[in-house]
Amino acid sequence: MEIDKTQIAAGLFNKHASGYQDKYMDVSLYRDSFDFFCEQLPGKNARILEIACGPGNITRYLLDKRPDFDILGTDLAPNMLSLAQLNNPGAHFQLMDCRHLEKAGGNYNGVMCGFALPYLSKNDVRKLLSDIFRSLNAGGLVYLSTMEDEYENSGFKKGSSGEEIFMHYYTAAFLNKELETNHFKVLYQEQIESTASDGTKVIDLIIIAAK
């Protein structure tokens, strides 16, 4: 039986939730893309589904920018959800595997998916994009961020805790093609160079698309 790499990753994030919070609560590196996402959702009380919300770092940025957002944050790590609720008392949080997105219902104006893709296989990503399309209202937005590289370079990588975690890499070409297949229109794309915990250079890829 094949090991479930996504569940293994969730276990590590659960174990190191507090350390992750300490390291990643500042999301200002991605400010431009978050602001674009917020600005493209006019009107009040937009319903937002957040996938892999972690300690609520992105949630907090979104609510600071748009306090009217009605956000449901989801994650596979219970300790992350506890931190997210403390950091965002006005939002709602739920334990959920994004590979079963139907459990979150539908009629969302936006789906925020910040760095969940590295922990999902190519088939999982294809299914996720299809599920997101069904979850969104007409004109709704999806925000995707991941580390850009060829899928063939995916593998176990040592994280900041010293433990290994399986990382899946995706290219802009692949994600744009899959978004087009699922009838999304890409509105925004950005690549940001950053440095991983081992000192290697990483390209963070951000894509925002509309249904």
CB-side neighbour CA atoms (13 Å) of 143: 30
Parallel, antiparallel or unpaired: strands 92-95 and 108-114: unpaired
Least confident range of 8-12, 55-59, 89-93? 8-12
Pairing verdict, β 47-51 and 108-114: parallel
Tell me the pLDDT tens digit for each residue of 15-29: 999 999 999 999 999
Residue 1 has pLDDT above 60, yes or no: no
Pick 2 or 199 by higher pLDDT. 199
pTM reported for the whole predicted model: 0.95
Euclidean distance between CA atoms 38 and 46, whole angstroms: 10
What tokens appear for 105 in the block?
A: 């219902």
| CATH 3.30.43.10 holds for 5-210 | no
Q: For 30, how many CA atoms within 13 A lie in the half-sphere containing its CB?
A: 29
Q: How far apart are CA 33 and CA 73, in angstroms?
A: 19
With beta carbons less than 8 A apart as the criterion, state whether 127 and 176 touch.
no
